[in-house]
Amino acid sequence: MMQLESQALEQDKLCPTKTTIMVIGGAEDKVHGKEILQTFFNRAGGVNAKLAVIPSASREPAAQGGRYRKVFEEMGAVNIKIFDIRERYQGEDPTWLESLEDCTGVFMTGGDQLRLCALLADTPLMDNIRSRAIEGKITLAGTSAGAAVMGHHMIAGGGSGSSPNRSLVDLTTGLGILPDLIIDQHFHSRNRMARLLSAIAAHPDKMGIGIDEDTCALFEGDSKIQVMGKGTVTIIDPSQMSYTNATKVSVGDPLSLSNLRVHIMCHGDRYDLHSHTMKPGLSETTMPLD
């Protein structure tokens, strides 16, 4: 298994994908194998990468930026810029846009997704990052809060451990990098299934993605998701949902949802967003399905 992962990392160094957007559930390994961060580094160009770290979601952006700088320097990065943006006007500063011009990878750290959006949404800087990521000109990654902001509809907060209901989730507008998705992070460790279901009941035209800690949903230019890391990625597909009572009950009442499709995927598994189908990964631990 380790040999296969090592070969995959080497292949990334030689053949970076056209478009790579990495959505990380938070608490990714920064000490031992660092598989997810190493993949970001490799796909952004390896030792030739020119990286931008955006720690603006954090209340301690300097410390957060320094933490990731150290990780990427240990991997061999020599060109790292910390976009320590603490005021909204800075996102309109042409100096930052110039700094972004030659970047090959952008990494958005964790913290508070509302803070990140308040600082960067609809700024020239974020518009540039979004367009370059979609066009395949950079590798873009976001962890925790940096993952939550990826959709058009963003989970800003809410509860956990309850049955689905509209009061369980607070929704607002995200950065729209992956506009057809609603993303939740720290998924199973914080018992957020009901929260994501509540969000999907409100927006059944979107796909729900719940990502565990130290786990990444890697979006590629062919509209496929590849899972990597130690946990799982949960996909809630409402494309064939036949009923929900979301518009008929009060805010605190339980929700019913009929005919949802749910996929639980682990390392190596893939999902096709167009065909709504899952393809199991090939590994030594893969068991045939009856």
Alpha carbon separation from 56 to 6, 147, 223 (Å, rounded): 32, 13, 28
Q: Which helix (H) or strand (E) holds 73?
A: helix 61-75
Check: CB of residue 111 under 8 Å from CB of residue 78: no
Contact 232, 266 (CB under 8 A): yes
3-state SS, residue 187: coil
Active site residue 263: no
Alpha-carbon distance of 270 to 259, in angstroms, equals 22
101 given a catalytic annotation: no
Which of 35, 144, 153, 267 does the annotation list as catalytic?
Answer: 144
Write down the catalytic residue from 35, 153, 213, 267.
213
Q: Which one from 58, 186, 198, 267 is the annotated catalytic residue?
A: 186
Q: Give catalytic status of residue 10 as yes or no.
A: no
CA distance readout (Å), 261 to 45, 67, 164? 37, 39, 16
**Residues designated as active site:** 144, 186, 213
